[in-house]
Structure formats: structure tokens, C-alpha cells
Homo-oligomer: A and B are copies of this chain.
Amino acid sequence: MAQRLIIALDAMGGDNAPQSVVRGADIARERFPQAEFLLFGDERKVKPLLDKRRKLISQATLCHTEQIVRMDDKPAIALRAGRQSSMRLAIDAVRNGEAHACVSAGNTGALMAMSKVVLRTLKGVGRPAMASIVPTKCGETVMLDLGANVDCEGCNLVEFAIMGEVFARTVLGLEEPMVGLLNVGVEEMKGHGAVRDAHGELSVTQLPLQYAGFIEGDDIADGTVDVVVTDGFTGNVALKTAEGTAKLTALFLRRAFESSWLARMAYVIARPALRKFKARVDPRRYNGAVFLGLNGVVVKGHGGSDSLAFANAVGVAADLCQYGFIDAIRDQIDRLAAERAGAPAEQLTAG
């Protein structure tokens, strides 16, 4: 598995599919020359695009299917009626051992529902979560859950913390990532039952996890911790609020530069620097939400992914495979289960 790297792609998922998927795979191929791609989708649409990319063809296999999951299909419908869909077949490939990971920019709810049914949740994990990487003052931070679970109990948040920590070690390459629990204040008595329960368990756990305690919303961008843990409702709202605020700030800035001829001139002079600024906050750099807690790697690209964004999502999937992500999570979750069952601490830290 360390040698070969086979990634199943839902060629029909996302607003710009299949173009963005084929082009994205071609970009990802340059970073991961050993990668092989299984593309699931409509031959009539995908093949003409593939034929134009000689180098990619030698690393890609096209698996024809006409069925697709639409962006507005309900997860339950997609599950029932989409067994031959490009999305489902890509996930099936992971389960059957034909691929090491699966990437789709399609319908999030359907992808999560299908992944849960096909790959199943890891033993010891109550609920899978969705994680992503967000930019901060100091670099990058992992944040989860981003919407898979709108209701969470303390035990779920603890599992998110553990999975997020492994994710940060794997994808960000951090040795001892700091983990924080998102709350409305940093004092012990703050917050609702779920965050206080999780705080209690994380404060006493013997697992090798650097727990920083409670953090607040502004700590996300400040990069106070490397892993931000929260429930799917709060996480989804926080992530989208941050995206909205970043766009708004850019808009105000644009207006400022259009407000006078002097400002317009300054804009022309500053353009190279501003381009760097734009690249720094480019949401495409942070594309690729990962489903954590499943028996397999599933990466979700943003529905509006272009080829560059899709390539980044493929890159995340490749990183996770290469660094033995699933095994590392399984290992930590087993330790947690042992701790919860009352095993002695030495046993937990020895592994």
C-alpha cells in the first residue's frame, strides 16, 4: 500500500464536473507521480477529456456508469436509488480494496450517508466527523466537526479530538498538535453539558494528547491550537461565517481601492503584493473536507471546486494514504476504548 497509491474519483460530482475532476487529477498527478486514478463516470463525457491528456491516460482507468447523484438529491434517496452512481462506485472501490481512497466534489450529505453504509464506522467511534484545514495567523489548523453531526454529546467530542489530533499529525506533519475545545469562554463553568463533559474526559485522559482546554471563536484565526473541536452545528456555522467575513473584507478592500484615482493608481502598483495576499486566503488551498472515523479514506471537495481545488482535495487523500492515517486513528481509538473500559494507564501509554 505504501508503494502503490490508487485513488477512486467520482468524475461526475461537483458543479464543474467532469472537467474539473479530469484536469484536477492531471494537476495532482504532477505532485504524486506514483498515483493511479480510477475515474467513475459517463464515458461519453469523460473519455473525450481524458483523451486530451496523454500523461494522465497512462495512470487512469475509466469505469463507465451513467447514473449520477445530483447536488440536491436527499441522502436517503441517493442511498436507495444510487447504487450504480459514480459516487457510490467510487466508495465501493475503497471497500473492495481496489482503491486506497475516494474523492468526490458531489452532494455532501449523500457522500457521507453512502460512506457510512459502505465503509462502516470504525469500532469505538460513535459518529464519524467532517474535518478540514483552515488558515490561521501562524499557519494552518484542523477543525472538526463541520456538519456531519448537528447534535453531539461529550463522548462524541472526545472522539473528534482524538481523530483530529491524528489528522493534524498526518496532514500538517505536526509532532504534538495542541487540541482545543470550542466554547463561549475559557473558564471551566462555561458552555453547555456536551462541552463540559468532553472537557472533563479530555482533562484526565492518559492518552498522548496535548489538550489546551477551552478556546473561543477568535482563537480559530489566531491559531491558538492546531485542532479545533466542536459539534457539527457550531463548526459548520463558524466555518461559513469565517468564509463570509473573509469575502466581505475583500469586498470592502476592493471598494476602497476604487474610491479615488489615487487609490486606483496605488492598486496598480500594489497588484503583485495583493496577488500574494489573495493567494494566501484563496479558499481553493484549503479544499478537501475529510470524513474521519470510517474504515477508509473519503475526501469531499467543495461543490464549486475548479481543477486546482479538486487537485488539492486529491492531495489530501494521497497524504492520508501515504501516512497510514486510518491505522493511526484505529490505534488511538482502541486506546480510548481501553481507557473508557478502565484499563490501567501504563497499558494505554505503552502502545
Contacts and interface: CB of A to CB of B under 8 A. Distances in A.
Contacts of A236: 184, 216-217
Interface in A187-241: 189-193, 216-222, 230, 232-234, 236-241
Contacts of A259: 273, 276
A174 interface: no
Interface string A33-50: 000000000000000000
B252 A272 contact: no
A256 to B, nearest CB: 4
B243 A217 contact: yes
Interface string A74-107: 1000000000000000000000000000000000
A242 B220 CA distance: 10
A343 interface: no
A257 to B, nearest CB: 6
A239 to B, nearest CB: 7
A236 B191 CA distance: 11
Query: How many copies of this chain?
Result: 2
Contact of A256 (B135, B136, B216, B273): B273
Given A184-B150, A192-B150, A273-B266, A249 B250 contact: yes
Contact of A217 (B191, B244, B281): B244
Given A216-B237, A241-B238, A248 B136 contact: yes
Given A150-B192, A216-B240, A233-B234, A273 B257 contact: yes
A176 interface: no
Interface string A286-330: 000000000000000000000000000000000000000000000
A246 interface: yes
Nearest to A243: B218
B269 A273 contact: no
Interface residues of A, number: 62
A135 B248 contact: yes
Nearest to A147: B184
B273 A244 contact: no
A260 interface: yes
Given A192-B233, A249-B281, A252-B280, A241 B267 contact: no
Interface in A23-77: 74
26 contacts: A135-B248, A150-B190, A151-B193, A184-B237, A192-B233, A216-B237, A217-B239, A218-B240, A233-B234, A234-B237, A237-B237, A237-B238, A249-B250, A252-B277, A252-B280, A252-B281, A253-B277, A255-B277, A256-B270, A256-B274, A256-B276, A257-B270, A259-B273, A262-B272, A263-B272, A265-B269
10 A-B pairs with least C-beta separation: A217-B240, A266-B270, A218-B244, A263-B273, A221-B244, A256-B277, A217-B241, A266-B269, A221-B248, A184-B236
Given A222-B248, A253-B277, A260-B272, 15 more contacts: A151-B192, A184-B236, A217-B236, A218-B247, A230-B237, A241-B241, A242-B245, A245-B245, A245-B249, A252-B281, A256-B270, A256-B276, A259-B276, A263-B269, A266-B267
